[in-house]
């Protein structure tokens, strides 16, 4: 290489993803869902740099816009975090249409807020989201997500209503 060789143009710092995420509920996706849509881990990391268009919401869960998450986005992120399959069962990639919730379900004040109970604050005001998972799951509570384990999970009720 000589000094007369021009440098190749640098790629933009935050390349626009060539993927459309209009079908993503609340613009929150897990790392597995991003991979299923063709977004590599390196592309995800580039989008999540400081000042970038995306941000990590929870471990393995990404918010696909800048700015604070809404209550619905925080709730959706909590379900994606708690519902991801254990590492031992991650053999097959998820389908892009998979909701990613697995056996996780919302409980506590967040569940009451979803069902419209007036005695609890709305989702925007909640500081914590309780998520019920099977007792055998090895998952830690993190940030605003409180993992609650149960020997037997109750019958799943439709979300947002029964």
| Low-confidence winner among 11-15, 26-30, 62-66, 99-103 (lowest mean pLDDT) | 11-15
Residue 75 has pLDDT above 80, yes or no: yes
pLDDT of amino acid 95: 58
Question: In terms of pLDDT, which residue wins out, 74 or 97?
Answer: 74
Within 10 angstroms of residue 76's Cβ, the number of other Cβ atoms is 27
pLDDT tens digit sequence for 141-157:
999 999 999 999 888 76
Neighbours of 5 (CB within 10 A): 7
Task: Give the DSSP per-residue string, 78-112.
Answer: HHHHHHSPPGGGTTSPPPTT----TT-EEETHHHH
Put simply, whether the predicted model's pTM sits higher than 0.85 gets the answer no
Mean pLDDT of 81-88: 78
Structure-token pair, residue 155: 């019958």
Rounded to whole angstroms, the Cα distance separating 63 from 68 reads 9
Percent of the chain topping pLDDT 90: 62
**Maximum average pLDDT range among 92-96, 98-102, 121-125:** 121-125
Question: Is the pLDDT assigned to residue 120 strictly greater than 60?
Answer: yes
């Amino acid at each position: 290489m000589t000094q007369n060789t021009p440098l190749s143009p640098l790629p933009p710092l935050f390349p626009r993803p060539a993927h459309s995420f209009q079908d993503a509920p609340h613009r929150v996706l897990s790392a597995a869902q991003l991979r299923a849509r063709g977004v590599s881990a390196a592309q995800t990391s580039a989008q999540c740099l400081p000042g970038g268009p995306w941000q990590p919401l929870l471990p393995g869960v990404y918010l696909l816009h800048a700015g604070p998450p809404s209550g619905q986005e925080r709730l959706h992120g909590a379900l994606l975090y708690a519902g991801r399959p254990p590492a031992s069962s991650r053999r097959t990639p998820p389908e892009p249409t998979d909701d990613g919730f697995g056996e996780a379900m919302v409980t506590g004040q967040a569940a009451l807020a979803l069902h419209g109970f007036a005695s609890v604050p709305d989702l925007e005001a909640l500081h914590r989201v309780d998520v019920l998972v099977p007792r055998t799951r090895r998952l830690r509570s993190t940030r605003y997500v409180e993992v609650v384990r149960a020997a037997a999970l109750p019958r799943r009720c439709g979300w947002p209503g029964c």
